[in-house]
Structure 1
Amino acid sequence: MPNYTVTVATGTQWFAGTDDYIYLTLVGSEHCSERTLLDKALYNDFERGAVDSYDISVGEDLGEIELVKIEKKKYWVQDDWYCKYITVKTPYGDYIEFPCFRWLVDDKEVILRDGRARLPQHDKTWAVKQHRRKELEQRQKTYRWKEWHPGFPMSIDAKAHSELPRDIQFDSEKGVDFVLNYSKAIENLYVNQFMHMFQSSWTDFADFERIFVRIKNTISEYVMQHWKEDFMFGYQFLNGCNPVIISKCTKIPDKFPVTDELVGDSLERGLTLEEEIKEGNIFIADYEVMDGVTANTTDPCTLQYLAAPICLLYRNSQNKIFPIAIQLSQTPGEDNPIFLPTDDQHDWLLAKIWVRSSDFHVHQTVTHLLRTHLISEVFGIAMYRQLPAVHPVFKLLLPHVRFTIAINTKAREQLICECGLFDKANGTGGGGHVELVQRAMKTFTYKSLCFPESIKARGMDSQEELPYYFYRDDGLRVWEAVKNFVTDVVNVYYDSDETLKKDEEIQAFVKDVCSFGMQDFDYCEFPKTLQTKEQLVEYLTIVIFTASAHHAAVNFGQYDWCSWIPNSPPTMRKPPPTKKGEVDITYIVESLPDRGRSCWHLGAVWALSQFQENELFLGMYNDEHFIEKPVKEAMVEFRKNLGEISKVIKNRNEGKKLPYYYLSPDRIPNSVAV
């Protein structure tokens, strides 16, 4: 009588084990085994972290084992179970791996394919084709698109984290409870003592330091000490939280009438402004997307204000970037002066503060929320809807969408919803952040997600001109490493462009992203088909890089750069000045956030800058979805390349007062999960 040995591994996360009944059926090319209860007498099966083995006897040869069917039936109360994998040892000594890495909930069954990745056109038998089709049909019912706001990328159809499919929920919802985390952060930062004076102003900048005693770190302390300096202001455009706004200026825009006479004193090479532009020494940061956005009115006791500034910057002979002109709104005129470094120190400081505040809003809402969180959710939903677990691209992308849909759902539930935490401290709360995303979507393109092209499009690709643009340099290294890894994996499964064209599932995935996730917005220019392997490599590199490296670059520095509140005010309580010479230090301090909003802001940037517990960083693939040797070898090479990049970055940072480490691979989580 043929005998099969089945080994079942239970997950190690909290509540992964189960006391429910587990049944298993082996589906072969010739016959199926009987439905067998996996149970050992006097033994507690399927404990958390357990690996249990069972012998299954069959009356006849099953042929090649194609599928494994698992069923969970309630024992006492409903008890979810996380199955990592199942292996089957055949009577002939062969071991077949069946990766699972999913939750079994209620009384539903799960049917597993063996671990070999397969394109749809390579499946031959009716059983595996049918399994593939049914899996996608079920997923498309489970993972549904929903419009959160008009003009936004589409989101998952779920109002709360608890409504999500169990496989994409966080292991512990408490770990991502924004209300709880903010409250803990405020307590840990020792700023809750100021909360009772919620709407009262600080008295001076030294007063801000009182909440900075226990919370400073190397970079934030340096920011506190140097934030007023033009060098520090300019440096952040390159290597701060939002290093994607600055562009090379090729022509002074009509709406920003800066002349040689105005800025001549700031130009140190003896050239005119026009000549400096031709030499590539002039840069611009334009916050036009902020123009007309509605300021927060959720608190009738506190007026809040926004601005849409334009800032001109200059690269000096030491290759450092300095601001040389600032206009605080988009329409020139007598009531919209151009502020200069030669103005009164308080005028110039307040103008820079307004730029930093606008930069904070664009960073949080456009660079961070839209261009990492929301777009990664689109890729994730489309992946679940169109790619079965056996598809190599599903296996490749799964670690890079881990918890993304969950964190976004939780944010919509608590953080950026109506009357959510976002409203407490941010000038774009109360709906301004929605307007900001809607405006940003009108210039959001697929190619802007391609890191090398986005750098080049802003004219920031020359290392000679900007040798200290670490975001660019480290980002290009990581992009190339990801691209090489993706290329290796793609080459294992796609031997030609024709093979790609015939892959109906990958084409459906790409179309779903464009036609549903991005709502077919023509201006976004997302592809609806992929015709070449090169296009597929770029597409998958964009998905992985956006979720990992780009998110890391714009998220985990928030506490470093934004905890010193005058450097990144989340709101302003006085309108932008319309004249020069009317500002003093008291006016500036009264413009900044009050004590309560400052505390909420600190809690926010602290909580958002923390890694998840048991974080998986780029190149770490603990769940072994791939079993093919060439892919495992590609992973080893990928980790080796990433390790070399980390060493280069570590060596460069040695002794630096302002180290840049956000794109060091050992600090880049695999996915958007915070």
Structure 2
Amino acid sequence: MPTYTVTIATGSQWFAGTDDYIYITLVGTEMCSERTLLDKPLYNDFERGAVDSYDVKVVENLGDIELVKIEKKKYWFQDDWYCRYITVKTPTGDYIEFPCFRWLVDDKEVSLRDGKARLPQDETTRTAKQHRRKELETRQKLFRWKEWHPGFPMSIDAKAHRDLPRDIQFDSEKGVDFVLNYSKAIENLCVNQFMHMFQTSWKDLADFEQIFMRIKNTISEYVMEHWKEDFMFGYQFLNGCNPVVLEKCHKIPDKFPVTNEMVKDCLERDMTLEEEVEAGNIYIADYEVMDGVTPNGTDPCTLQYLAAPICLLYRSIRNRIMPLAIQLHQVPGEDNPIFLPSDDEYDWLLAKIWVRSSDFHVHQTVTHLLRTHLISEVFGIAMFRQLPAVHPVYKLLIPHIRFTIAINTKAREQLICECGLFDKANGTGGGGHVELVQRAMKNFKYKTLLFPEGIKARGVESQEELPFYFYRDDGMKVWEMVKSFVADIVAIYYDSDETLQKDEEIQAFVKDVCSFGMQDFDYCEFPKALKTREELTEYLTIVIFSASAQHAAVNFGQYDWCSWIPNAPSTMRKPTPTKKGQANVEYVMESLPDRGRSCWHLGAVWALSQFQDDELFLGMYPDEHFIEKPVKTAMENFRKKLAEFSRVVKARNEGKKLPYYYLSPDRIPNSVAV
């Protein structure tokens, strides 16, 4: 009697094991095995982290094994089980791998294909074609699009984390509970003592040290010591939390009537302002997207205010980016003065604080939330809806959407929802953050997700002009490594552009992203189809880079740059000054966040800057969805390049007071998971 040896690996995460009954059926090209209960008497099968082997006896040879069917049936109560993989040793001694990496819940059956990746047009048997179709039909019922707010990218149709399909939930929801984590952060930072004085102002700037001093690091301490200085203000446009705002200024805009007379004392090259613009030495940061956004009104006892500043910056002879002029609103006028470095100390300081506060809002809501979290969720949902597990692009992308839909759902449940945690400290809470995303979407272009295109569009690509722009330089290196890796994978499975064009599933994936995920907004210019392998390579590079490197660059520096409250105020409690000479130290302190909001802000940036306990970094693929040797070789080459660049970044940062490590590959998580 022929015997097939089946080996089953149970996941090592919490609660992965099960006491339920597990049955298996082997489906071959000739016949099927009987439904077999996998059980060893006096042995506790399917424990967490276990690898168990069983013999399945059949009357005659099954032919080539096409599917493995796994079935879980309740024993005492429903006990979810996480299966990592199954291997089958045939009577002839061959080993066949069946990747699973999913949860079995309730009394349901899962059918697995062997680990070889296949395009839809490569399927030759009826069983294989039906399996692909049924898998997608099932997934499309589970992964439904839903509009959270008009004008937003679409999100998953789930009100709470517990409503998500089990396979995309966090292993432990407790670890990503925002309320719990913020409270824990506030406790760890020892700032509870200030919470009872919620709406009282700090007495002076040094007072902020009372909450800041608990946890320090190299960058945050340096920021505290130098935040008032113009060079530090300018440096953050290059390598701070929001390094995507600075643009080359080709013409001083009419709405920002800065004259040479105003700034001539700050210019170092014996040139006029107009000549400096022509020479490419002038940059601009325009927060027009903030204009008219409704400030937080959830607390009627404390008015909060927003601005939409424009800031002109100058590349000095020492290649520092220095602020030249600041206007706090978009429409010029007598009640909207242009603040200058030559103004009174507190006038100039307050103007810079307003820019930093506006930058904080744009960073949190546009750069971080929209352009990494929400767009990664769109790619993830479309992937689950349109690509079966046997598709090579599914295998490539699945590590890079790990927990993304879950963290976004959790955020909509607790963080950015009405009366959520976001409202407690942020000036754009209470609905302003929703308006901000809706406005930003109007200028959201697919091409700007191409990292080199985004850099070029802002005119900041020159290393000679901006030699210390580490976000750009490191980002380009990581982009090219990711793109090279993706190109290797694409070349393995697509031998021609025609092969890509015939792949109905990948075309459906791209169309789903555009037509449903991005709601067919024409101005976003997302492709509805891909014609060449180069287009596919760029598209998949966007997906991976946005979820990994781009998110790392704009997320994990939040405590570094925002923990010193005056450098990144989450709200402002006084309106913008309407004339010069209005500011003094008392006015500045009354403008900055009060004690309670400072504590909430500090807890938030601390919690959001932490890696997950079980974080997987770029190039780490412990779940072996691919079994083909050429892919494993490509992965190993990718890891070698990443490791070498990590060493380069580490060497560059040695002894630096302001190290830049956010795009060091060993600090870039694979996916948006926090």
Q: TM-score range by the shorter chain?
A: over 0.9
Partner in structure 2 of residue 374 of structure 1: 374
| 1:428 paired to 2:428 | yes
Partner in structure 2 of residue 584 of structure 1: 584
Partner in structure 1 of residue 296 of structure 2: 296
How far apart, CA to CA, are the structure 1 residues paired with 2:30 and 2:582? 88
Partner in structure 1 of residue 307 of structure 2: 307
How far apart, CA to CA, are the structure 2 residues paired with 1:644 and 1:350? 43
Q: Which runs of 5+ in 2 are unaligned?
A: none
| 1:316 paired to 2:316 | yes
Shift of residue 60, structure 1, vs aligned partner: 1.1
| 1:261 paired to 2:264 | no
- Aligned residue for 2:99, secondary structure, equals strand
| 1:415 paired to 2:415 | yes
- Aligned residue for 2:196, secondary structure, equals helix
Partner in structure 2 of residue 441 of structure 1: 441
| 1:246 paired to 2:207 | no
Partner in structure 2 of residue 641 of structure 1: 641
How far apart, CA to CA, are the structure 1 residues paired with 2:215 and 2:638? 36
Superposition TM-score, scaled by structure 1 size: 1.00
How far apart, CA to CA, are the structure 2 residues paired with 1:411 and 1:670? 19
Shift of residue 159, structure 1, vs aligned partner: 0.2
How far apart, CA to CA, are the structure 1 residues paired with 2:56 and 2:147? 49
Shift of residue 61, structure 1, vs aligned partner: 1.1
Per-residue displacement from partner, 1:598-650 (whole Å, max 9, x unpaired)? 00000000000000011100000010000000000000000000011111111
- Any residues of structure 2 matched to 1:538-577 within 5 Å, and which? 538-577=538-577
Per-residue displacement from partner, 1:289-346 (whole Å, max 9, x unpaired)? 0000000000000000000000000000110000000000000000000000000010
Per-residue displacement from partner, 1:494-543 (whole Å, max 9, x unpaired)? 00000000000000000000000000000000000000000000000000
Partner in structure 2 of residue 472 of structure 1: 472
How far apart, CA to CA, are the structure 1 residues paired with 2:421 and 2:213? 25
Shift of residue 37, structure 1, vs aligned partner: 0.3
How far apart, CA to CA, are the structure 1 residues paired with 2:338 and 2:480? 41
How far apart, CA to CA, are the structure 2 residues paired with 1:154 and 1:116? 32
How far apart, CA to CA, are the structure 1 residues paired with 2:213 and 2:379? 42
How far apart, CA to CA, are the structure 1 residues paired with 2:5 and 2:644? 42
Partner in structure 2 of residue 527 of structure 1: 527
How far apart, CA to CA, are the structure 2 residues paired with 1:208 and 1:171? 37
Percent identity of paired positions between Structure 1 and Structure 2: 83
Partner in structure 1 of residue 483 of structure 2: 483
Partner in structure 2 of residue 147 of structure 1: 147
Shift of residue 583, structure 1, vs aligned partner: 1.0
How far apart, CA to CA, are the structure 2 residues paired with 1:633 and 1:538? 21
Partner in structure 2 of residue 173 of structure 1: 173
How far apart, CA to CA, are the structure 1 residues paired with 2:577 and 2:200? 22
Partner in structure 1 of residue 510 of structure 2: 510
How far apart, CA to CA, are the structure 2 residues paired with 1:360 and 1:420? 18
How far apart, CA to CA, are the structure 2 residues paired with 1:531 and 1:656? 46
How far apart, CA to CA, are the structure 2 residues paired with 1:146 and 1:625? 29
How far apart, CA to CA, are the structure 2 residues paired with 1:347 and 1:487? 53
Per-residue displacement from partner, 1:43-88 (whole Å, max 9, x unpaired)? 1100000000000110011000000000000000010000000000
213-222 or 444-453, which deviates more = 213-222
| 1:111 paired to 2:118 | no
Instruction: Give the letter for the 1:209 counterpart.
Output: E
- Aligned residue for 2:357, secondary structure, equals helix
Number of equivalenced pairs:
674
Partner in structure 1 of residue 186 of structure 2: 186
How far apart, CA to CA, are the structure 1 residues paired with 2:575 and 2:33? 75
Partner in structure 2 of residue 596 of structure 1: 596
Instruction: Give the letter for the 2:483 counterpart.
Output: K
How far apart, CA to CA, are the structure 2 residues paired with 1:160 and 1:151? 21
Instruction: Give the letter for the 1:633 counterpart.
Output: T
Per-residue displacement from partner, 1:183-203 (whole Å, max 9, x unpaired)? 000000011110010000000
How far apart, CA to CA, are the structure 1 residues paired with 2:651 and 2:459? 28
How far apart, CA to CA, are the structure 1 residues paired with 2:466 and 2:406? 39
Per-residue displacement from partner, 1:154-210 (whole Å, max 9, x unpaired)? 000000000000000000000000000000000000111100100000000111111
Per-residue displacement from partner, 1:88-139 (whole Å, max 9, x unpaired)? 0000000000000000000010000000000000000000100000000000
- Aligned residue for 1:283, secondary structure, equals strand
Shift of residue 491, structure 1, vs aligned partner: 0.5
How far apart, CA to CA, are the structure 2 residues paired with 1:139 and 1:160? 18
How far apart, CA to CA, are the structure 1 residues paired with 2:435 and 2:309? 17
Partner in structure 1 of residue 50 of structure 2: 50
Partner in structure 1 of residue 458 of structure 2: 458
Shift of residue 278, structure 1, vs aligned partner: 1.1
Partner in structure 2 of residue 357 of structure 1: 357
Instruction: Give the letter for the 2:507 counterpart.
Output: Q
Partner in structure 2 of residue 137 of structure 1: 137
- Aligned residue for 2:430, secondary structure, equals helix
Shift of residue 217, structure 1, vs aligned partner: 1.1
Shift of residue 651, structure 1, vs aligned partner: 1.0
Superposition TM-score, scaled by structure 2 size: 1.00
- Any residues of structure 2 matched to 1:613-652 within 5 Å, and which? 613-652=613-652
How far apart, CA to CA, are the structure 1 residues paired with 2:430 and 2:595? 20
Per-residue displacement from partner, 1:456-515 (whole Å, max 9, x unpaired)? 000000000000000000000000000000000011100000000000000000000000
Instruction: Give the letter for the 1:25 counterpart.
Output: T
Partner in structure 2 of residue 605 of structure 1: 605
Per-residue displacement from partner, 1:390-422 (whole Å, max 9, x unpaired)? 000000000000000000000000000000000
Shift of residue 585, structure 1, vs aligned partner: 0.5
How far apart, CA to CA, are the structure 2 residues paired with 1:46 and 1:648? 44
Instruction: Give the letter for the 1:502 counterpart.
Output: K
How far apart, CA to CA, are the structure 2 residues paired with 1:657 and 1:213? 18
- Aligned residue for 2:84, secondary structure, equals strand
| 1:40 paired to 2:45 | no
- Any residues of structure 2 matched to 1:83-122 within 5 Å, and which? 83-122=83-122
How far apart, CA to CA, are the structure 2 residues paired with 1:586 and 1:217? 29
Q: Which runs of 4+ in 1 moved over 6 A?
A: none
How far apart, CA to CA, are the structure 1 residues paired with 2:128 and 2:613? 37
How far apart, CA to CA, are the structure 2 residues paired with 1:250 and 1:597? 39
Shift of residue 213, structure 1, vs aligned partner: 1.6
Partner in structure 1 of residue 499 of structure 2: 499
Shift of residue 215, structure 1, vs aligned partner: 1.8
| 1:537 paired to 2:532 | no
How far apart, CA to CA, are the structure 1 residues paired with 2:412 and 2:64? 47
Instruction: Give the letter for the 2:161 counterpart.
Output: H
Per-residue displacement from partner, 1:322-381 (whole Å, max 9, x unpaired)? 000000000000000000000001000000000000000000000000000000000000
Per-residue displacement from partner, 1:581-606 (whole Å, max 9, x unpaired)? 11100100110000000000000000
How far apart, CA to CA, are the structure 2 residues paired with 1:654 and 1:213? 24
Q: Which runs of 5+ in 1 are unaligned?
A: none
Instruction: Give the letter for the 2:618 counterpart.
Output: L
RMSD: 0.4
How far apart, CA to CA, are the structure 1 residues paired with 2:110 and 2:561? 47
Partner in structure 1 of residue 125 of structure 2: 125
Partner in structure 1 of residue 667 of structure 2: 667
How far apart, CA to CA, are the structure 1 residues paired with 2:384 and 2:399? 12
Partner in structure 2 of residue 399 of structure 1: 399
- Aligned residue for 1:27, secondary structure, equals strand
- Aligned residue for 2:319, secondary structure, equals coil
- Aligned residue for 1:118, secondary structure, equals coil
Instruction: Give the letter for the 1:421 counterpart.
Output: L
